[in-house]
Amino acid sequence: MPNQERLSSQNKAKPLTPSDTDGGTGASSSSSAHPADEPVSDTVDWQCEADVVIVGGGCVGLVAAIRARDLGASVILIEQNFDLGGKLSHSLGRASLGGGDPIQERDRLGLDPEDMGLTEPLIPPEDLEDDPDRLFTDYTDWSVVNEGAFAEYRYNDPKLHRALADNASAVRQLMLDNYVRFSRITGTHLGGGMTRARAPWAIMKLSDKTDIEAGEVTLEDAGSIEEERSSPFNPQVYGPAPSASDFGAPGWVVGGFAIARPLEYSARKKGVRILLNRHMDELIREQPFAGRAIGIKASYSPRFHPETGERLESFWTQNNIDDRRETLCIRARRAIIIGSGGYQGNVHFRSMFDPRMREPSIQFGSSLMGPRHGDASGIIAAMKIGANLAGMMQQYGHDLGSPRLSDIIGSSDANDAVFPGHPAFHFCRAYGIKIGADGWEHLIAVNQVGERFYDEMSISANVEAHATYPPGGGTPLNHFVLPVSTATRNPFRQRDWRNSSVSHIKQVYNHGAASDAALGLNKGSVAPDFLTGPVWAIFDQAAVERTGWQIRYPFIADPPDGFFIKADTIDELARLMAQNPFQKEVPAHLAQTIANYNKFCEKGHDPDFDKPALHRIDQPPYYAAIIPLAVTDSYGGLRINEKAQVEDTAGNVIEGLYAAGEACGGSGQHGIGLASITGFIAATNAASN
């Protein structure tokens, strides 16, 4: 059976030809200009075509491509980056599906049917009994409040979420049928519901070879946190390939790559044709605001190694179409699926719905996925041909959709930081220093003019802060791991008014205002923009010695990049801080702020912010590290119906146009769950269009 090495050596990238594109004309020019009374389709020179054209090579695109091919459609998959996987490949690979899906049933019955060496299940059998009706009720439960006391599920589109519930189990089966393996279920991911456990982790087994069909990966391809090394195979953020032992899979490793690479392997094997380095700029409709969506216009969007100047290339090349013309027009005989992601990379778009998002220093993840990642291009292109939006209010205040101060400091891209070994490291240049919840005690946080703005030890309330619900309901006590061994069962009741009672809100409310304070106007917020600027951690050598922080490459950039600064004096530190691309001025108040803080330390009291633990900042060298204001996800996007068809402002379907994942709106569901199910639904209907 083919393994990774065989696949990667086959079918090297070749020029675009008519045979490659299943009926393409091979024309070299195109035009979307047309007389008002002439159909657009009569004036476009199509370079290539397929039954289904999918925009975006992440979770939506990979699932949709496989589903459409399984249903007999020809597929072209477009991706603006140099490799497939998108946010899926850099995630931790935890996927909430449910509805009685095959992994829930496997763990409920205590089975290990593939002899993977799994431990006993980590969740009681009664917390794994599930069905689509229960999942639908969970998705739309008005009584569930988040850590900010907002009822996110209440505002989910019921029609869409009925379809999500009905298709969740089939999506898990699709993943299993296409070489994805999962650990034991450990709880439920955000947005996945409260009454049942639905989230295992995607895993691969460490081996002496990488073989997708066998579920095996070498340590070289997996990367290693301990060795501080990433790999071209695994672009995972937050540390490559951590052990899956805590998730019931000893000898296996965890990560989004363990979903992305198997799905990519299968899609290539099934004949999906792939256009990388290609950004979708326009949707083409039969008439400007009428008729079917019939194709796309896509521009050439390569990325180049910043040192060698060479074009970055995909890990695998089978079925790649390498065409470097500036623009291509690609016809969709049956349908277009927009899976191009959200809008956090577009300041003008995102700030329409959250005015805080005008600050350009907010990090959203661009090192791995490129400067055009999350640029709202798919959403805007659909709006230009008449599409409507949905669920935009769900972004505001959502834990993963709102800017949060990160506990990984000193990095230009906290969401996309990788270790050396992956091409993206040449763009982020530093992994960053993870200071953890205890680290805030040992520094002060200052704004762009060098003044403190909040009790630093309370900032941790903004880092991975999530509402806690009874572990007996399957929901983790934190975002990642459910400590089942210490859990006290206290079953959750659907639609119970007590869930949103004042007393319960007081228990789950843990929202802190540090990020809001960081984005508040300061002395440097002047006309005409009134921008608040970046936020900095200031500390000294004594803090480094107390904490053991790794102040070295690859955690900080070498040579310096302006996001982590070291100096022998405070004045020199302030001068160097001004070289950061987002810092508008020298932080003139920094020296006085540190002097005042040291006086507070002498007195043992912080009259400005009541910080409970104080440490002087007076032992050189001194350090300034960016505290990233980072946002993870987009919520809200194109309005779709239960078939994932895009609707216009009158509620009419735009025939031939589908959207999924972060490009669509109406859901508080998160990440892999939303992307994979909506991608599956879109492809199911698109292929039969």
Structure tokens belonging to residue 407: 């506990």
How many whole angstroms separate alpha carbon 477 and alpha carbon 556? 32
Amino acid in position 270? K
How many whole angstroms separate alpha carbon 231 and alpha carbon 237? 11
How many whole angstroms separate alpha carbon 686 and alpha carbon 64? 9
Pairing mode, if any, of strands 637-638 and 389-390?
A: antiparallel
pLDDT value, residue 470: 52
pLDDT value, residue 467: 67
pLDDT value, residue 12: 34
- Give one word for 270, left, alpha or beta, with left for phi > 0 and alpha for psi -120 to 50: alpha
Q: What percent of the chain has pLDDT over 90?
A: 78
pTM (predicted TM-score)? 0.92
Closest CA to 439 of 240, 241, 625, 629: 625
E-only strand ranges, 150-243: 181-182, 202-206, 216-217
How many whole angstroms separate alpha carbon 100 and alpha carbon 110? 14
Q: How many CA atoms lie within 13 A of 4 on its CB side?
A: 21
Burial class (CB in 10 A: 0-12, 13-18, 19+), 490: exposed
- Give the model confidence (pLDDT) of 521-538 as tens digits: 999 999 999 999 999 999
Task: Output the CA torsion sign for 570, 575, 580, 582.
Answer: positive
Most distant CA pair in the chain, distance: 80
User: Between the CA atoms of 682, 687, 688 and 689, what dihedral angle is there, to the nearest 10 degrees?
Assistant: 80
Structure tokens belonging to residue 514: 């540090």
* Other beta carbons within 10 Å of 123: 27
pLDDT value, residue 39: 64
pLDDT value, residue 72: 98
* Phi, psi at 275, each rounded to 5°: -110, 100
- Give one word for 536, left, alpha or beta, with left for phi > 0 and alpha for psi -120 to 50: beta
Measured in whole angstroms, the distance separating CA 388 from the mean position of its chain's CA atoms is: 23
Structure tokens belonging to residue 51: 């039954």
In DSSP terms, 203 is beta-bridged to 181, 254
587-594 contact pairs (CB < 8 A, 24+): 587/446, 587/448, 587/449, 587/450, 587/536, 588/449, 588/450, 589/449, 589/450, 589/451, 589/523, 590/446, 590/450, 590/538, 591/450, 592/450, 593/444, 593/446, 593/450, 593/451, 593/452, 594/444, 594/538, 594/570
Amino acid in position 153? Y
Mean pLDDT of successive 10-residue segments in the chain (689 residues)? 38 34 38 51 89 98 98 98 96 95 98 97 92 96 87 93 98 98 91 90 98 98 96 94 97 98 98 98 94 98 96 97 97 98 95 92 92 95 97 86 92 93 95 93 98 93 64 35 42 83 82 92 96 97 97 96 97 97 96 98 96 96 97 94 97 98 92 96 95
How many whole angstroms separate alpha carbon 338 and alpha carbon 71? 19
